[in-house]
Structure 1
Amino acid sequence: MYENKRNIFQVAILHHCENVFNLIYQMSEYKQIVTEMVDSYMNSMLHLVGKLAPHDKLNLVPGAALQMRRELQWFKEVEKLVNPYFKEFRNNNGEIPSTIFTREHKNLVAQGEKWMKDTGNSCTIVATLIATIGFAAAITVPGGNDGTSALTVFSKEKVFIVFIVSDAISIFTSTTSLLMFLSILTSHYAEEVDNRPCYLFLSITTMIVAFSSILYLVFGHNRAWILIPVTGLACLPITSFVSLVFPLLVDLISSTYGHGIFGTQSDRLFYYLASTTR
Structure 2
Amino acid sequence: MAESERESIKEQISMFDEKMISAQRAARSENWREFKKIFKVDRMRLLDPLDLFGNTAIHIATHSDNPNLLQELLELLPRQERWRVMRMGNCVNNTLLHEIVFCTTVDMAGVVFKLEKELQEEVESYDPLVEVRNDSGESPLFRAAKLGKLKMLKYMANHVVGDIRSHFVRFDRCSILHACILGQFFDVAIWLLKLDGNLAQHKDMDGLTCLQLLANMPLVFRSQTPSMGAVKNLVYYLLPDEGYEIDDDYDEKGEEEEGSVLFRLRTDLESGPLDKAKQSVHQFAAFSRINYAIWKILAKEFNGIGHIWEKKKQHKLAECLAELLVQKDFSWQISFHSNFQPLIVLPILSSKLDRIKEIQLMKEKRQLVEIAHSRISKPLLKESISKASHFKNYTPLLMAAGSGIVEIVEKIIDMNPEAISHVSQDEHNVLHMAVKHRQLKIFNLIKRNSAFKSLIHRITGEGRTLLHQVARMEFYKEQRLPGVAFQLQDELRWYEDMHKEAKCWIKETAQSCSTVAVLVATVVFAAAYTIPGGSENGTPVFFGSRVFLFFTVTDVVALVSSLASVVTFLSILTSPFELWDFYKSLPRKLNLGFALLFFSLVCTMLAFSATVLLTIQLENTKWTSVLFYCAGFLPVAIFAWMQFPLYKTLQKLVRRLCNRVKQV
**The TM-score by the shorter chain falls in which range?**
0.5 to 0.7
2:572 is aligned to 184
From 210, 221, 229, the equivalent of 2:607 is: 210
Check whether the contact 1:208–1:234 (CA below 8 A) recurs between aligned residues. Answer: yes
CA distance 1:254–1:160, change in 2 (3 Å): farther
Quote how far apart the aligned CAs of 1:62 are: 6.6
User: Deviation per CA, 1:105-163, whole angstroms, max 9, x where unpaired?
Assistant: 1222222111111110110110000011111111222222223xx32111111111111
1:119 aligns with: 509
- TM-aligned CA distance change 1:257 to 1:96, over 3 Å: closer
Q: Which residue of the other structure, out of 627, 640, 651, is the alignment partner of 1:238? A: 640
Contact 2:459 2:466 in 1 (8 A): no
RMSD: 4.0
Segments of structure 2 that go 5 or more residues without pairing to the other structure are: 1-434, 438-457, 474-479
Q: Secondary structure at the match of 1:229?
A: helix
**Distance of 2:605 and 2:630 partners within structure 1:** 15
- Give the deviation of 1:93 after TM superposition: 9.2
Distance between the aligned counterparts of 1:99 and 1:256, measured in 2? 18
CA contact (8 A) 1:127 1:175 kept: yes
Q: Is the 8 A contact 2:531 2:540 kept in 1?
A: yes
The alignment partner of 1:96 has SS state of: helix
Conserved? CA contact 1:63–1:112, under 8 Å: no
Deviation digits for residues 158-184 of structure 1, max 9, x if unmatched? 111111111111111111111111112
Q: Distance in 2 between matches of 1:204 and 1:61?
A: 31
Q: Secondary structure at the match of 1:105?
A: helix
2:640 & 2:484 partners in 1: Cα distance?
54
Correspondence for 2:491: 101
| Alignment partners' CA distance in 2, 1:166 and 1:199 | 14
d(CA) in 2 for partners of 1:94 and 1:230?
A: 60
One-letter identity of the residue aligned with 2:529: I
Amino acid at match of 1:227: Y
- Tell me by how many angstroms 1:256 deviates: 10
Counterpart Cα distance in 1 of 2:640 and 2:594: 14
Given that 2:533 and 2:614 are in contact with CA atoms closer than 8 Å, whether structure 1 keeps it comes out as no
C-alpha distance 257-201 of structure 1, shift in aligned 2 (>3 A): farther
- The corresponding residue for 1:152 is 540
SS of corresponding position for 1:162 = helix
Provide structure 1 residue ranges, at least 5 long, that are not aligned to the other structure.
Answer: 1-51, 75-89, 263-278
Structure having the higher Rg: 2
For residue 160 of structure 1, what is the amino acid of its counterpart? F
- Corresponding pairs, count: 190
Q: Is the 8 A contact 2:518 2:566 kept in 1?
A: yes
> Residue 104 and residue 235 in structure 1: after superposition, are their counterparts in 2 closer, same or farther (change >3 A)?
same
1:247 aligns with 2:648: yes
Identity of aligned residues (%): 25
Code of the residue aligned with 1:206 in structure 2: it is: C
Cα gap change, 1:256 to 1:217, in 2 (>3 Å): farther
Quick one: distance in 2 between partners of 1:237 and 1:186? Answer: 30
- The question of whether the paired residues in 2 share the 8 Å contact of 1:167 and 1:206 is answered with yes
Q: Is the 8 A contact 2:602 2:636 kept in 1?
A: no
Query: What secondary structure does 2:535 align onto?
Result: coil
Q: Residue 250 of structure 2 aligns with which residue?
A: none
Matches within 5 A, 1:224-235: 224=625, 225-235=627-637
* Cα deviations by residue, 1:3-28 (Å, 9 ceiling, x for unpaired): xxxxxxxxxxxxxxxxxxxxxxxxxx
Task: Name the amino acid aligned to 2:520.
Answer: I
